[in-house]
């Protein structure tokens, strides 16, 4: 079973590939719709699972709280951008402009997480305490994948 760090990094690699693929699409094409749907569900489930497994552990350690809070805040900002994109016409110039913002912000977030947050986590969470978190992350992500639409509906009602 992969470590939590390897599991998150593997997802990030897939997300980077999807972002690049989306950047190469145009208009309201089926290719763009398919890539967007895949990206949307992957990132939503990834972020929720990451917060519930990895960040909940990191935030429980005093020296990890700032890094965890910062990343969770970025998740919210990225989620807001994704929801805006989800409601826009994919063929509009505004969609591509907003997508480029999302791509830039998310690539920054992933780089920061892999370099700074992982380093901080390794300093404050002993390996013995984080063993098995990769498996928990994967399990939680699968559960979250099934809940994405339900959570979006709930947030729209608020």
pLDDT reported for residue 152? 56
Per the CB < 8 A criterion, the answer to whether 78 and 104 are in contact is no
Of 32, 41, 46, nearest in space to 88 by CA: 32
Q: What is the pTM of this model?
A: 0.89
Rounded to the nearest 10°, the torsion over CA 10, 21, 92, 98 is 40
Mean pLDDT (the chain, rounded): 89
**pLDDT interval class at 128 (50, 70, 90):** confident
Q: If you count them, how many residues does the chain have?
A: 158
Residue 151 scores a pLDDT above 70 = no
- The reported pLDDT for the residue numbered 156 is 45
pLDDT of amino acid 145 = 85
The residue extents of the domains of the chain are 4-157
User: Looking at residue 153, what is its pLDDT?
Assistant: 58
Mean pLDDT, range 130-150, rounded to an integer: 86
pLDDT surpassing 90 at residue 158 = no
Written out in words, the top-level CATH class of the domain with range 4-157 is mainly alpha
Number of alpha helices (DSSP H) and beta strands (DSSP E) in the chain? 8, 0
């Amino acid at each position: 079973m992969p470590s939590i760090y390897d599991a998150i990094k593997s997802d990030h690699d897939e997300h980077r590939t999807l972002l690049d693929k989306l950047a190469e699409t145009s208009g309201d094409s089926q290719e763009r719709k398919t890539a967007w749907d895949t990206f949307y569900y992957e990132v939503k489930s990834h972020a929720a699972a990451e917060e519930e497994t990895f960040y909940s552990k990191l935030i429980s350690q005093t020296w990890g709280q700032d890094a965890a809070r910062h990343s969770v805040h970025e998740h919210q900002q990225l989620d807001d951008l994704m929801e805006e994109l989800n409601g826009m016409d994919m063929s509009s110039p505004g969609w591509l402009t907003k997508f480029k913002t999302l791509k830039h912000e998310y690539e920054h977030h992933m780089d920061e997480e892999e370099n700074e947050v992982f380093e901080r986590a390794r300093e404050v969470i002993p390996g013995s305490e984080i063993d098995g978190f990769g498996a928990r992350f994967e399990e939680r992500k699968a559960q979250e994948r099934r809940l994405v639409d339900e959570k979006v509906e709930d947030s729209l009602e608020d």
